[in-house]
């Protein structure tokens, strides 16, 4: 058995604009104005870390959770109301791998509800055997927990898994988990076994060469 473990944001779909608008509107409601530069510097981090930094540690943990939950609910509403487009090559690769009997999962640092909503709106669920989100693990990337959890749910050993990521922390998580990796992006992903700018650049036998 072989498996592909997909990161979500920036790999299968680009939801950055939805995250920015949700954070901007939620923080404004909480009485704090943030800049897009502040948002970009925090993108990909867990909500508790983001909010602790933006509030300077002055807000109780329950308030942090409340604001974070409000932001994620608004984000999901944007996705459901406006829809989201898969990144080039994403649909084709998920369908191809499904036909070739690779097991597939989304392994994301995002809240599980976000992962479920995005997978549903993108139309990916029929190709996936598991969805893993932030609540399923205690430690985020670059720790390998999210990928190990996804591999376990699929019933595939780590050495038979390929991780597809757009972030250096995700590539490092794959390495620590004993998995091969494909980096979608630039030179910052040099630690991956294969680095490409877009999924459409992947040769037809890319996954098979990594896991024969």
Beta strands in the chain (DSSP E): 3-6, 103-107, 130-132, 161-165, 180-184, 194-196
Asked if 48 is an active-site residue, the reply is no
Which position among 7, 62, 69, 136 bears the catalytic label?
7
101 in the Ramachandran plot: left (φ > 0), alpha (ψ -120 to 50) or beta?
A: left
Tell me the C-alpha distance between 158 and 16, whole Å.
Answer: 29
Is 126 labeled as catalytic in the residue annotation? no
Burial 81-116 (b: 16+ CB within 10 A, else e): eeebebbebbbebbeebbeeebbbbbbbbbbebbbb
Strand order across the 194-196 sheet:
130-132, 103-107, 3-6, 161-165, 180-184, 194-196
The one catalytic residue in 9, 25, 81, 143 is 9
Is the previous residue joined to 130 through a cis bond, with omega within 30 degrees of 0? no
Which H helix or E strand runs over 198? none
Structure tokens at 197: 């700018």
Alpha-carbon span 52 to 70, nearest angstrom:
16
Beta bridge partners of 9: 13
Mind telling me the catalytic residues?
Answer: 7, 9
């Amino acid at each position: 058995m072989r498996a592909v473990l997909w990161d979500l944001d920036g790999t299968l779909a680009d939801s950055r604009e939805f995250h920015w608008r949700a954070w901007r509107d939620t923080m404004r409601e909480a009485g704090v104005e943030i800049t897009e530069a502040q948002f970009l510097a925090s993108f990909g981090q867990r909500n508790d870390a983001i909010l602790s930094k933006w509030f300077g540690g002055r807000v109780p943990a329950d308030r942090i959770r409340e604001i974070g939950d409000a932001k994620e609910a608004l984000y999901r509403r944007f996705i459901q109301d406006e829809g989201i487009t898969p990144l080039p090559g994403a649909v084709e690769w998920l369908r191809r791998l499904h036909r070739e009997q690779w097991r597939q999962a989304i392994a994301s640092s995002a809240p599980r509800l976000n992962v479920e909503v995005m997978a549903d709106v993108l139309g990916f669920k029929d190709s996936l055997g598991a969805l893993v989100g932030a609540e399923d693990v205690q430690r985020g990337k670059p720790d390998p927990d999210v990928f190990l959890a996804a591999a376990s749910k699929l019933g595939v050993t780590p050495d038979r898994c390929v991780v597809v990521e757009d972030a250096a922390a995700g590539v490092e998580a794959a390495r620590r988990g004993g998995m091969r990796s494909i980096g979608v992006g630039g030179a910052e992903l040099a630690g991956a076994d294969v680095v490409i700018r877009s999924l459409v650049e992947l040769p037809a036998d890319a996954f098979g060469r990594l896991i024969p």
